[in-house]
A and B are shown apart, each in its own frame.
Chain A
Amino acid sequence: MSFPAMLKKGALPPLLSVPNRIHPHAMTAISYTELISGFRPQLLKFARLQLQDDAAAEDAVQEAIEAALKGIERFAGRSALKTWLFTIVRHKVIDFLRERGRTVQVSSLERDEADMDEAFDALFRENEHWSPVSRPRPWGNPEEALEQQQFWQVFEICLEVLPARTARVFMMREFLGLETDEICTTLDLSTGNCNVILHRARAGLRQCLSEGWFGAEAARC
């Protein structure tokens, strides 16, 4: 089964309901506005990573923020607000990808492999040790993530933005469970090349899930 076909198989559900956390008004509208602007760079980064389109990312984030401000009285805490904002941005991103899927080839969503390597290199200092801001952190509650439909939407988006060859090798290894030897032979790649591609895929997906799910979720409680 081809990758796009696989994605289409589990058709994405309609808009999910917004988390229902109604608390007494603990914060003023002004502090909410400040909080929301504080999240803006993070939201933009997430949307840009998924869409590879600055204008569309800006639109998605702007719409999410406007929607959040309209429903602001429903939120009493900072973490609920952050989770909600990310939820809205995810929906906007998914809507956009669906829309684009009808008019543009899937290949136009692909990230160049060189771009991925550049993004990975940027996580390190000159000496090839983690830069303090991008040092990986353990992912909390993976079991809980697996049970949430929204998590799978993020996962699908992260897969969708991988370059075709990267995604193909990753899926042969992790989805189909083939050994690397077999993958190299089938695709006529050297073992070293296969390893590089698998590392690129894992590093990229790790980064995407950290930003799109596990990082956003950390503030939930």
Chain B
Amino acid sequence: MLTCKHTTRLLSEALDRPLGKREYLALRLHLLFCRGCRAFRQNIYVLRKVSRSFMGRDDGPN
């Protein structure tokens, strides 16, 4: 089982590279049970959207 701290690292990296199958499954499993990490994911998705709006390129998360 992933720790929350490790999960935040994977969530960040998921914005930059495709995750491996094992990482992806571990992440899904953790998120299923952890609302804190689900909120962290929502927050950093919004952060990406905000950053793109800041530069006038609002094309949403990948």
Shortest C-beta distance, A92 to chain B (Å), equals: 23
* Interface 0/1 of A113-156, CB less than 8 Å to B: 00000000100100111100001111100100110000010010
Q: Which residues of B contact A136 (CB under 8 A)?
A: 36-37, 39-40, 43
CA–CA, A45 to B24, complex, Å?
A: 36
Closest B residue to A207 by beta carbon equals B43
Known contacts A128-B6, A135-B39, A203-B8; is-contact A142 B50 (Cβ 8 Å): yes
* Closest B residue by C-beta to A129: B4
Question: A128-B5, A175-B55 known; A202 and B50 CB under 8 Å?
Answer: no
* Known contacts A139-B42, A146-B50, A146-B53; A180 and B17 CB within 8 A of each other: yes
Number of A-B contacts (CB under 8 A): 85
Distance (whole angstroms) from the CB of A169 to the closest CB of chain B: 11
**Cα separation A63 to B34 with both chains bound (whole Å):** 40
Task: Kindly list chain A residues whose C-beta atoms are within 8 Å of the C-beta of B25.
Answer: none
Is A42 close to B, CB under 8 A? Answer: no
How would you classify the secondary structure of chain A's contact residues: helix, strand, loop or mixed? helix
| B16 contacts A206, C-beta separation under 8 Å | no
Residue of A nearest to B59 (CB): A177
Q: How many residues of B contact A (CB 8 A)?
A: 32
Q: Which residue of A lies closest to B6 (CB)?
A: A128
Which residues of chain B are within 8 angstroms of A195 by Cβ–Cβ distance?
Answer: 9, 12-13, 16
Contact A180 B4 (CB under 8 A): no
CB of A130 within 8 A of CB of B16, answer no
Q: How far is the CB of B56 from chain A (nearest CB, A)?
A: 10
Residues of A within 8 A of B36 (CB): 129-130, 135-136
Verify B13–A142 contact, CB threshold 8 A.
no
Interface string of B8-48 (1 = CB under 8 A from A): 11001101110000000000000000111111101110111
